[in-house]
Structure 1
């Protein structure tokens, strides 16, 4: 059985909407009631059949990279004000 990585994009109308990693163009919907563990927007997960595993280390790295990018953009913006 193959495994695929996804990123949780949003929760909408009772569904978790995952985007296939890395392109994040293909959507995969999962009913919230079928999830066995809580997920947050931005979580990177591995889905194998009906099993979902949160990839905590990848999620943390991604969040850190986004925070660094936002800090750099804020600093750049302050420079131009």
Structure 2
């Protein structure tokens, strides 16, 4: 039984495409019917594979912190481009 952290990259058709953290190079495709949560792109989750199904938990605090960090970096980049 493995537990890993992933970022929801996108939805393609009936599948959620999750990227394994921290490198985000390995993909995991999970059918929407197995997700069981209301997720949006960029959400961080823990995914446990018990061999029969996926147990997915939203990491709300980590998601919020990561989104704030990305917004700060984008704002900084935009300000650099204005100079």
Corresponding residue number in structure 1 for 2:65: 61
Alpha-carbon deviation of 1:63? 0.1
Please give the alpha-carbon distance, in whole angstroms, between the structure 2 residues aligned to 1:19 and 1:36. Answer: 18
SS at match of 2:65: helix
Please give the root-mean-square deviation of Cα atoms over the aligned residues, in Å.
Answer: 0.7
Which runs of structure 1 show a deviation greater than 2 angstroms over 4 or more consecutive aligned residues?
A: none
SS at match of 2:75: helix
Please give the alpha-carbon distance, in whole angstroms, between the structure 1 residues aligned to 2:65 and 2:39. Answer: 16
Unpaired segments ≥5 residues, structure 2: none
SS at match of 2:72: helix
Alignment deviations for residues 23-62 of structure 1 (CA, whole Å, 9 cap, x no partner): 0000000001222111110001000122000000110011
- What TM-score, normalized by structure 2, do the two folds share? 0.91
Unpaired segments ≥5 residues, structure 1: none
Corresponding residue number in structure 2 for 1:77: 81
Count of residue correspondences: 79
Please give the alpha-carbon distance, in whole angstroms, between the structure 1 residues aligned to 2:11 and 2:45. Answer: 15
